[in-house]
Amino acid sequence: MQQQGGADGEALEVWIDQDLCTGDGICAQYAPEVFELDIDGLAYVKGPDQELLQERGATAPVPLPLLTDVIDSAKECPGECIHVRRISDKVEMYGPDAK
């Protein structure tokens, strides 16, 4: 099992709001182990088993080695639809709703 977490060691998860996804695929370029475009042209997260999670609001853990790539995906996403939050309290750390 891969170690997960942010800079403070807290476990993080990521999800995509498909209603805002523009289908540019930047996320899949930055972190193809975590994101993938489906045949509908929208991005989705992948579970730890690399299975595409197509349910609305589905979350995937952020593996520590991919943290920077996932954060860069959230920052560069033109649709501002990638949300990275702490698992413990659901506070968004990176993405459009981060403080």
pLDDT digit string, tens, across residues 22-74: 999 999 999 999 999 999 999 999 998 999 999 989 999 999 999 999 999 99
Say if residue 78's pLDDT is above 60.
Answer: yes
For residue 75, the domain's CATH number is 3.30.70.20
**What is residue 3's predicted lDDT score, i.e. its pLDDT?**
41
In one letter, which amino acid is 50? Q
Q: Is residue 5 part of a domain?
A: no
Task: Please report the pLDDT score of residue 10 as a whole number.
Answer: 85
d(CA 18, CA 16): 6
Element (H, E) at 72: helix 67-76
Q: 38 is in which domain, residue-wise?
A: 12-94
Strand partners, 43: 37
> pLDDT band at residue 8, thresholds of 50, 70 and 90?
low
The number of domains in the chain is 1
Closest C-alpha to 13, from 77, 82, 78: 82
Asked if residue 26 belongs to a domain, the reply is yes
16 lies in some domain: yes
Which residues of the chain form beta strands (DSSP E)?
A: 12-16, 35-37, 43-46, 52-53, 59-61, 82-86, 92-94
pLDDT of residue 2: 41
32 lies in some domain: yes
Q: Identify whether 3 is part of a domain.
A: no
Q: Is 80 within the bounds of a domain?
A: yes
